[in-house]
Amino acid sequence: MTIIAYYVALLLVGDIVAVFLCLWIEKFWPTASMPIFIGLYFLILWVAWLVAVRLTEPPTERKPAQ
């Protein structure tokens, strides 16, 4: 359940950043803001999952060197 909470939180933060970034881009290059947003959206989905998995994976035990 923790992984879902991390994933949703990371998605919300990433999407908010993407929206404001694309609103800023729209002032200078209106035709590019939508493709950039769609690319960022799918990138955020993928990266948020990788980060959520990394944050919730159990710590590994190190064996002493022999």
pLDDT attached to residue 66: 67
Residue 63 above 80 pLDDT?
no
2-47 pLDDT, tens digit per residue, is 899 999 999 999 999 999 999 999 999 989 999 999 999 999 999 9
pTM equals 0.79
Burial of 25 by CB count in 10 Å (0-12 exposed, 13-18 middle, 19+ buried)? middle
